Every structure is written in C-alpha cells, then in structure tokens.
Amino acid sequence: MKINHHFLDLKENYLFSEVGKRATAFSEAHPDKRVIRLSIGDVTRPLPPVVISAMHGAVEEMGRAESFKGYGPDRYCYGYPSLIDSIRSSYARKGVSLKREEVFISDGAKSDLANILDIFSGENTVLVPDPVYPVYVDTNIMAGRKILYADANEQNGFLPMPDSAVDADIIYLCSPNNPTGAAYTREQLAVWVNYALEKNAVILYDAAYEHFITDPELARSIYEVKDAERCAIELCSYSKTAGFTGVRCGYTVVPQALVREGISLNKLWARRQSTKFNGVSYVTQMGAASVFTEEGERQIEENLNYYRENAKIISDCLDGLGIPYTGGKNSPYIWMKCPMGMKSWEFFDFLLENANVVGTPGSGFGKNGEGYFRLTAFGTHENTREACARIQKLLKKGSLS
C-alpha cells in the first residue's frame, strides 16, 4: 500500500496544536506562573439558559419510548425541520430566503469546510487569502490541490479583492476574517461574486463570526449579494455564536441554484452527507434550534456583548501603547502588529516569557502574517484585563521603538 504523500507536505503540527504544545511546555517548566491563554478562539461563557432547557427537554424525550428518536430525518440529511426552520428564519431576517433542502446540519464549520472538498475535483485550483484560517490551506494540501494566494496586507486593509488575471476554481472567503478581524462590505462581496461567476468558480464563504457584526454596512451572509446563490456555499457554526465549541453544531447552505457542469452541487453534497455522515445528535440539534428564537437571540447577544467588551479592553490597551491593529470591532479577533519589529514567533516567546500571555503568531496563518500576532476576545473579563495590564506594563509607551 501507499500512504497519502500529500500529508508530508504539511507543517508537522496544526497551528493551534503547536501553540498549545509550547504554552503547556512553558507552564510545566514554570508551575509558579499563571499563564493566560488568548490564543485559540475558544469560548468561555456558559451555554445560554434557553439552550440548556431545550437540551434537557430533548434528553427527557430520548428517555421515553413514545418520544425516543433514532437517526434523524433522512429527507434533510438527518437535520430536524425545527432546527432547519429556525436557521431559515435567521436568514429571512437578513432578507435571504432559503428552502429546507438547502440547509445541511453538521457538527461544525471546520468539518464541513474540509468535507465539502469531496464534491470538487482534485484538479481544481484554489484561491485563499493570505493570512487565513489554516484549515483551508491544510485540507487542500492533503488533497494535493494547487493553491494560489490573494495577498491581504496593511495596504488593502487585510481585505484582498479579486485579480481578474488570476484563474481560480474554488475561492475561500471568511468575513469577519479569521485571523485579521477585517470584514467585507456588501459592495466588496459583490465584486467577488461577479469574479466567481465570470470564472465559473465556487466561493466557500465562512460566516462563523457573522454574529459579531454590528456595522450595518457589512454583510452578514454572502447571499445578501445578488446572484451569490449561483456561485457560493456558506458555512456557519454555533460555536462562536452560541458557545457550542464543546457541543458541536453548524450548518452549511448549498443553494439549489448552484450548478456546475450541469450538475446540482446541492445534490452532490446531499449524496456525500447521506453516505459519509449520520447527523448530529438529537439533543444537540434541539439545543441549537433554541438559539434563533426571540429569547435565544436575546441571550446569545448577552454573551456576544461580553466578548465585545473584551475586544474593547484589548483594543484600548493597544491604542494606549500606539500599536497598530485591525479587528476588535465586528470581530472577536484583534490582529496586532508585533512591536519593536519582532517576528511573530519571536513576539510569541517574548510575551509568553515576560507577561505569561499566550497569543497566536500571525505567521502561522500565512506568509503575510509574519510580524503580526492574533489575540482573541473569547477569554473571561478577568483574564483579559489581567493580560492587558501585563502587556501594558511590558510594552509601555516610550519603551517601544
């Protein structure tokens, strides 16, 4: 037999595993230090009461013969209509109308972002922004696809626009962006949609952070843009919206209007899911279905505001130090320039050793991330304030050059 040699083209560790490994090694070597992790975007607020109550109800149902559930409904690839309809109602509030058959329930955006590649030929050329969430790049390296990069940098506000001279088949966009926190307006997304239609390409639009958007100029779904249903698949998750990183639930929209080579991509994805996936647990789906109710929306907004406050604490700290950054508004990520001309991993070590604060080195997200560093607003208030006080002390104005 032969292994998949494309795996040998990957870096040894997935970015967040590498960061975790180094932070743990530091903690073990310095048990007296209280290390604060603002690295991986993992939530800290508990699940909203409405979700807990819905999950309890579902557990009770599973314990009674008359309401017990086995596999979910195969008509919707094991997604329950009540959950699918609540997602449709959330899209309707953005002016987007979806059919039940267009919404697929999954265990999160990360798996779907990787699995969706099953329906595309390995011969396709992929276009990803640089810097970018490493899953887009790593999963395509594993499949041996050719990858092109769209440079995101200070000059374009970390929001690259398409270059008509570049031919791409699969395009990844993430807005608000992970890692830079920058977010596209509807007008900018319309340019990407036109480019994709012109190239007969498909956009994989990662909207995992859309709930952080407060600016009405910014798009919360690519389907707010005309004709996007003919060229875009949208992937979303309850992880950051409702605190589901440990629960696992997400959804992917594959419009029926999306056709390539005369074949419906919706049908291909349904075929793929019904073959390789048995759905998300009933208890999880019922918890998720409560999120986009009126009460659910109110409760998740409380948690989102909590994280927004953290983003403000971090932004204020960087403003005070005169350190440039993007994000922090409409996004839970703050993408800062490393001070004193340090490289990303150099600043990682500097901060870990001198302030016992862990962030994510920008270079881990791509070559344009070199010299940048990502902090997350998903910590507790206490840890965020403490981390910022330590950063302030370490980098206080005047000592930076």
Quote the least distance from Cβ 133 to ligand MLT, whole Å.
Answer: 6
> Distance (Å, rounded) from C-alpha 210 to C-alpha 213?
6
Under rule CB under 6 A, residue 181 binds ligand MLT: no
Nearer to ligand MLT, 82 or 380 (CB): 380
Q: Which of 127, 218, 137, 207 is nearest to 174 (CA)?
A: 207
DSSP 287-298: HHHTTTSHHHHH
Among 10, 40, 62, 114, binds ligand MLT (CB under 6 A): 40
DSSP structural state of residue 308:
H
Nearer to ligand MLT, 20 or 320 (CB): 20
Under rule CB under 6 A, residue 110 binds ligand MLT: yes
Contact region with ligand MLT (CB under 6 A), list: 36-44, 169-177, 257-265, 383-391: 36-44
Measured CA to CA in angstroms, residue 255 lies from 48, 87, 132 at distances of 30, 14, 25
Please return the burial class of 122, using the count of CB atoms within 10 Å of its CB with bins 0-12, 13-18 and 19+.
exposed
Nearer to ligand MLT, 178 or 368 (CB): 178
Give the helix/strand (H/E) hosting 348: helix 344-355
Residues 6+ apart with CB under 8 A from 96: 221, 223, 224
Nearer to ligand MLT, 35 or 40 (CB): 40
Among 19, 22, 41, 366, binds ligand MLT (CB under 6 A): 41
Contact region with ligand MLT (CB under 6 A), list: 2-10, 37-45, 215-223, 253-261: 37-45
Among 44, 139, 177, 178, binds ligand MLT (CB under 6 A): 178
Q: How many residues bind ligand MLT (CB under 6 A)?
A: 6
Residue with tokens 């999120």: 291
Nearer to ligand MLT, 133 or 149 (CB): 133
Residues 120-139 that bind ligand MLT (CB under 6 A): 133
Q: Residue with the closest Cβ to ligand MLT?
A: 41
Nearer to ligand MLT, 195 or 238 (CB): 238
* Alpha-helix runs per DSSP H in 34-168: 49-62, 81-92, 109-115, 134-142
For residues 105 and 278, is the Cβ–Cβ distance under 8 A? Answer: no
For ligand MLT, the binding residues (CB under 6 A) are: 40-42, 110, 133, 178
